Structure 1
Amino acid sequence: MSRRVSPRPRCDRCNLPSHLCLCAEIPRVETRTRFLLLQHVMEIAKKSNTGRVASLALANSRLLIHGSPVEPLDTAVLSEPGTWLLFPDGPTAPPDAPAPRQVVVLDASWSQARRMTQRLPVLRTLPRLVLPPPEPGLLRLREPTHPSGMSTLDAIARAVAMLEGTEAAAPLEQLAALRVQRIAECGTLY
C-alpha cells in the first residue's frame, strides 16, 4: 500500500515552493520597452515558471495566456505599432529600424513556442529580436533543448541589456542567478 505524499505548499505570487519563495528578492525594474509575455497555458502551473517571475519584476509588462479554453486571447495587442518578437530565427528588423516599443516574449517550451507562432499569424509578421547564443557559464537548472535555449527570465534579462543597457538588466540577471542557486542548493527538495 503506497502512501500519497502531499505536494509542498507554493507561494501564490511566484509559484515556487514556499521554502524557495523569491518574492522578497524580486526587484522592480523600469524599462522604456514594454514586455508582453505570452504564456502558454501549460506553463501556468510549472514550478519552473520564470515568465511569471519576470512579469512580477518588470514594471512595464503584461502577462497574457495563450490556449486557455475559458479566456480567449485578444491578439490586437500583438499588432500594435513598434512590436517585435523575441525569437531565435525569422525576419529580423532592418539595421536602421527604430528600437521596439513592445517586445513579445513567448513563455513556453520550444515546441509550444513554435506552435504558437504557427497558430497566431500576427507573430509571423513581427520583426524578430534575436539574441546571441548564451555564453558558457550561464547558470541553468538543465541543459536546453535548443542551441539558443535559456529560461524566459534569462532571455528577458538579455533583451533588456541589448535594448536598454547592462545596468538596467543587472537586477534581472541577479534574480535569475539567485533562483537557480536556491533551487540547486535545495537539491531534491524542489
Structure 2
Amino acid sequence: MSRIQCPRCLRPQSHCLCPLIPSLDSRTRVLLLQHPSEVNHALNTARLAALGLNNAELIVGEVFADLPRLLNQPGYQARLLFPADDAQPLQAYGPSGDSLLLVVPDGTWRKARKLLHMNPLLAALPRVTLAEGGVSRYRLRKAPGPGALSTVEAIVQALQTLEAPASFELLLKPFEALIEGQIAAMGEETYQKNHGGG
C-alpha cells in the first residue's frame, strides 16, 4: 500500500515540505530541464527550487521540442549553467541590460550531458559557471568533486551572485529539512558510519 503523497511537493503527506517552501521573486528567470530519472528521487531538489521561485519553470523530459520558444523569452538572455572550458563565471547584474534566463539541466552528470547531447540547441547556449569553492550541504551523497552542488544549491549560489545583495537562502530550508529527515530515518549510527567519515 502506498503512502498518501502531497500533490505539490510530491513528498509523503506525513513529511510534506510545503510549509517550508518560500515564494521568492527573482529578476533572473530559471528554467529547469529535469531528466525523467530524477522525478521520483527522494531528494528532488530541482522541484523544490521550482516551487520556491516565482520566476521558475520545471520541465521533465529527454528531448525538449518546445526549446526554441522556451529559450526565446523577451528581455532575457539564455545562458546554460554547466561547466565548460569557455564558460564565463557568473557576475552581479549591472544597472542596465537584459536579465538572464538561467537554464539548469537536472540529473546526474552523465544524464545532464545526455540532455545536452539530445538537445543541440541547449548544448549551443553560452555557458556560465559558479565561483569556485562552493561547499555542498548535501551530506548524504559523496560529491563527484570539489564544488559539486545539488541543483537547488547551485541555483541559490547563482542567484545570490547575480542579484547581490538579495538573499535566496530560504530556498535551502526545505532541502535541509529533507536531509535531516533522511538522516533521522537511517539513524545517527548508520549516518555516521556511511557519511560522517567515522
Whether contact under 8 Å (1:88, 1:129) holds in the other structure is yes
**Alignment partner of 1:21 is 2:24:** no
What is the alpha-carbon distance in structure 2 between the residues aligned to residue 26 and residue 100 of structure 1? 24
| Offset, 1:143 | 1.2
What is the alpha-carbon distance in structure 2 between the residues aligned to residue 95 and residue 155 of structure 1? 12
1:111 partner SS:
helix
Summarize deviations over 1:55-108 as a string: whole Å, max 9, x none.
Answer: 00000011112227xxx6311113555000111224324989967520001111
Which has the larger displacement, 10-19 or 33-42? 10-19
Note the 1:56-75 alignment, pairs <5 A: 56-67=51-62, 73-75=65-67
> Could you say which residue in structure 1 is the equivalent of 2:113?
114
Query: What amino acid sits opposite 2:83 in the alignment?
Result: P
> Could you say which residue in structure 1 is the equivalent of 2:173?
174
Query: What amino acid sits opposite 2:66 in the alignment?
Result: D
Computed over aligned residues only, the root mean square deviation of the Cα atoms, in angstroms, reads 2.7
| Offset, 1:154 | 1.0
Of all paired residues, the percent bearing the same amino acid is: 32
| Offset, 1:41 | 1.4
What TM-score results when the alignment is normalised by the length of structure 2? 0.78
**Alignment partner of 1:52 is 2:47:** yes
Whether contact under 8 Å (1:84, 1:100) holds in the other structure is no
Is there any run of 5+ residues in structure 2 with no aligned partner, and where?
Answer: 188-198
Give the length in aligned residue pairs: 180
Q: 1:119 to 1:15 in 2, by over 3 A?
A: same
1:161 partner SS:
helix
What TM-score results when the alignment is normalised by the length of structure 1? 0.81
Whether contact under 8 Å (1:20, 1:183) holds in the other structure is no
What is the alpha-carbon distance in structure 1 between the residues aligned to residue 134 and residue 15 of structure 2? 26
What is the alpha-carbon distance in structure 1 between the residues aligned to residue 53 and residue 60 of structure 2? 17
Whether contact under 8 Å (1:15, 1:49) holds in the other structure is no
| Offset, 1:177 | 2.3
